[in-house]
Amino acid sequence: MAEENHMPADDMAVETADALVVAEDVRKSFGRLEVLKGIDLEVRRGEVMCVVGPSGSGKSTFLRCVNHLEKLTAGRLWVNGELMGYRQRRGRLYELRDSEIAAQRSDIGMVFQRFNLFPHLTVLGNIIEAPTQVKRTPKARATERAMELLDRVGLPDKANAYPEQLSGGQQQRVAIARALAMEPSLMLFDEPTSALDPELVGEVLDVMRDLARGGMTMVVVTHEMGFAREVGDSLVFMDDGAVVEAGTPAEVLSNPRHERTRAFLSKVIQ
């Protein structure tokens, strides 16, 4: 259990410098199944990190650990200098209250494979929900900001549509706008295009590319190697709960060092 970790200092102010995310020996087990076997990673501010790896290698579990949707079995994870999900006192970790965890999470936007918009709310309603409910942003201000975001994701005329009236690609762009409405400092994407028809993938990747250009820090689990190569600052290959290889996309894609990376890439790159 994470509570059994022992560290010398209390509530260490972590010197994360340029790193927005620091994962230190992150471990996660479900019962006897060890899914993450000690992940060490750093994501710098403004960095776009792409994560690839075979099904079941632990990519989604790692993303879920970053925003504490999963409790760590061991290790530590900092976002923006804050220990995610825990407070450290006399070398012991204590889980934060739900409200404290929610506050930490509000700084992290997450976009999943399946569009998880609220079906009973309009596009606008979806986007202003969290800012008005969680951040208590006045409705007029939240609406103004939502319209700017809809413009940014190329859907200025869909504010009053319901999710079911949109294509998958449009829904996914609304999901991105909704995450951005909380003005997060980090965006996590879990295969945001893999449930889309091929002709809709490009429009979502375009929005993500634009976000990356704007300096957003992003961790993107994806099988879109073209996107990883072009937009990613770093590429991480995970297999069996561990980081096998990490480097620039050019390094990892053109000159993989490990046989497991080579075998995986030969399957996903035609």
Q: C-alpha distances in angstroms, 115 versus 13, 27, 70, 134, 193?
A: 37, 28, 20, 21, 10
Is 57 among the residues that bind ligand ATP (CB under 6 A)?
A: yes
55 binds, among ligand ATP, Mg ion, none (CB under 5 to 8 A by kind): ligand ATP
Tally of CA atoms within 13 A in the half-sphere of 45 that contains its CB:
7
Quote the least distance from Cβ 76 to ligand ATP, whole Å. Answer: 19
Q: Kindly state whether residue 256 participates in binding ligand ATP, applying the rule CB under 6 A.
A: no
What would the x/- binding string for Mg ion be over residues 69 to 108, using CB under 5 A? ----------------------------------------
Q: Considering the complex, what minimum distance in angstroms separates the CB of residue 179 from Mg ion?
A: 18
Sign of CA dihedral 219, 225, 229, 235: positive
56 binds ligand ATP (CB under 6 A): yes
| Least Cβ distance, residue 192 to ligand ATP (angstroms) | 12
**Residue 142 near residue 128, CB atoms below 8 Å:** yes
Per CB under 6 A, 55 contacts ligand ATP: yes
Q: Is there a contact between 1 and 93 (Cβ–Cβ < 8 Å)?
A: no
Q: Could you say which of ligand ATP, Mg ion, none residue 56 binds, taking C-beta under 5 to 8 angstroms by partner kind?
A: ligand ATP
What span, in angstroms and rounded, lies between the C-alpha atoms of 235 and 228?
Answer: 7
170 binds Mg ion (CB under 5 A): no
Among 52, 60, 66, 235, binds ligand ATP (CB under 6 A): 60
The residues facing 93 across adjacent strands are 88
Examine residue 222 and tell whether it contacts ligand ATP (CB under 6 A).
no
Shortest approach of Mg ion to residue 238 CB, angstroms?
10
67 binds ligand ATP (CB under 6 A): no
260 binds ligand ATP (CB under 6 A): no
Residue 49's identity, in one-letter code, is: M
Chain residue whose CB lies nearest Mg ion:
60
Q: Do residues 243 and 236 make contact, with C-beta atoms less than 8 angstroms apart?
A: yes
Residue 59: CB minimum distance to ligand ATP, A? 4
Q: Is 60 in the site for Mg ion (CB under 5 A)?
A: yes
Query: In the bound complex, what is the minimum distance in angstroms from residue 70's beta carbon to Mg ion?
Result: 12
Binding range to ligand ATP, per CB under 6 A, among 30-38, 131-139, 167-175, 195-203: 30-38
Rule CB under 6 A: is residue 132 a binding residue for ligand ATP? Answer: no
Query: Which spans of this chain sit near ligand ATP (rule: CB under 6 A)?
Result: 30, 33, 35, 53, 55-61
